[in-house]
C-alpha cells in the first residue's frame, strides 16, 4: 500500500481528485485529497494572509498529525507550487513527487510571471473565473457532462497565491524521485515551463492527450501514470 496526497490547483478543491482517488483506493492505496485553505468547501474562509506557504504548511501539518511516511505527493496547476513547498518542509516524509500539468516555480517567481492572462474576477482577496458566465466556462476543454459537474464547484482562489513570489529555499537543490505529466491540449502552464521542471529534477516525462484537468477528463490514464511513476 502506498500513501498518496493529492493537491489541487486554482479554482478547485479536493473534489476535483475524486475520480482518481476512487481508482487509487480501489487498488488498495491510502489517499488524501484535502481542500486547501480558502478553496472548495472552505471558500467561505477566504481572507488576507493565505499564501502558497500557508497552504503548504497545512499539508505539512496533515502529514505530521496523520503520521504519514513514504508519501507520494501529487500536485496539479498551482498545486505544483504547494507540492514543492511541502516537499521542502517535510523531506523525511516524502518518497516521490508527481507534477500533473503543474506550475513549478523557482524561488522568487510568481504565477503572474508565467500565466499572464487576467481573470474575470480580481479583488484584493480573490482571483478567478465567473462561473455564472456560460460563454466562458471556468474549466475549459471538458465535455458538457463534466463541465456541468465542475462548474458549480468552481471557487475563487486566494489572490496572494497569484501575486506573491513563492519561497523555495532548498527545493531545487535537492535530489527528488519525480515525474512530470504534460497535458498536450492545455494552454497553461505550457510545455516549456514543464520541461524546465523535468530537466531541473531529472524527472521522468509523460504526456497525456487531454486538457488541463486530466483527473476529470482522463482519470484512468492519469491514475496509471501516477501509479507507474
Cβ burial, residue 53 (10 Å; 0-12/13-18/19+) = middle
Among 123, 120, 122, residue whose Cα is nearest residue 131: 120
First to last CA, the chain: 15
What pLDDT sits at residue 11? 97
Distance (Å, whole) CA 85 – CA 66: 19
**Mean pLDDT for the chain?**
95
What pLDDT sits at residue 101? 98
What pLDDT sits at residue 134? 79
93 phi/psi in degrees, rounded to 5 = -100, -5
Q: Specify whether the CB–CB gap between 127 and 156 falls below 8 A.
A: yes
Flag whether the pTM goes above 0.85. yes
Please write down the long-range contacts of 66-72, taking CB distance under 8 Å and 24 or more positions apart: 66/32, 68/3, 68/5, 68/32, 68/93, 69/3, 69/93, 70/2, 70/3, 70/95, 71/3, 71/4, 71/5, 71/95, 72/2, 72/3, 72/4, 72/5, 72/96, 72/97, 72/98, 72/226
Query: All 3 cell numbers of residue 104?
Result: 513549478
CA dihedral of residues 70, 73, 74, 75 (deg, nearest 10) = 180
Locate all alpha helices (DSSP H) within the chain, ordered by sequence.
18-26, 52-65, 79-89, 111-114, 144-150, 159-163, 191-201, 214-217, 219-228
DSSP string covering 200-213, please? HHT-EEEEESS-S-
User: Taking the CB of residue 140, how many other CB atoms lie within 10 A of it?
Assistant: 14
pLDDT category at 112 given cuts 50, 70, 90 is confident
Q: If you search the block for the grid coordinates 458566465, which residue do you land on? A: 133
Q: What is the pLDDT of residues 34-90, one digit of tens each?
A: 999 999 999 999 999 999 999 999 999 999 999 999 999 999 999 999 999 999 999
Read off the pLDDT of each residue in 131-155 and give the average, rounded to a whole number: 91
Domain 3-228 has CATH 3.40.50.1820: yes
Q: What is the pLDDT of residues 154-202, one digit of tens each?
A: 999 999 999 999 999 999 999 999 999 999 999 889 999 999 999 999 9
Q: What is the pLDDT of residues 16-40, one digit of tens each?
A: 999 999 999 999 999 999 999 999 9
Amino acid at each position: 500500500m502506498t500513501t498518496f496526497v493529492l493537491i489541487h490547483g486554482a479554482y478547485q478543491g479536493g473534489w476535483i481528485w475524486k475520480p482518481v482517488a476512487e481508482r487509487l483506493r480501489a487498488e488498495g492505496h491510502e489517499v488524501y485529497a484535502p481542500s486547501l485553505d480558502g478553496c472548495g468547501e472552505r471558500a467561505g474562509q477566504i481572507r488576507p494572509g493565505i499564501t502558497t506557504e500557508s497552504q503548504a504548511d497545512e499539508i505539512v501539518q496533515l502529514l505530521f498529525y496523520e503520521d504519514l511516511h513514504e508519501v507520494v505527493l501529487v500536485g496539479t496547476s498551482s498545486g505544483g507550487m504547494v507540492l514543492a513547498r511541502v516537499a521542502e518542509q517535510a523531506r523525511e516524509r516524502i518518497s516521490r513527487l508527481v507534477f500533473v500539468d503543474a506550475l513549478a516555480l523557482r524561488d522568487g517567481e510568481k504565477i503572474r510571471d508565467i500565466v499572464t492572462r487576467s481573470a474575470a474576477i480580481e479583488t484584493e482577496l480573490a482571483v478567478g473565473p465567473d462561473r455564472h458566465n456560460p460563454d466562458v466556462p471556468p474549466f475549459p476543454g471538458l465535455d458538457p457532462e463534466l463541465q456541468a459537474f465542475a462548474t458549480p464547484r468552481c471557487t475563487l482562489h486566494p489572490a496572494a497565491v497569484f501575486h506573491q513570489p513563492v519561497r523555495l529555499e532548498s527545493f531545487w537543490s535537492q535530489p527528488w524521485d519525480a515525474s512530470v505529466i504534460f497535458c498536450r491540449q492545455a494552454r497553461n502552464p505550457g510545455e516549456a515551463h514543464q520541461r524546465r521542471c523535468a530537466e531541473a529534477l531529472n524527472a521522468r516525462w509523460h504526456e497525456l492527450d487531454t486538457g488541463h484537468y486530466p483527473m476529470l477528463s482522463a482519470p484512468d490514464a492519469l491514475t496509471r501514470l501516477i501509479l507507474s511513476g
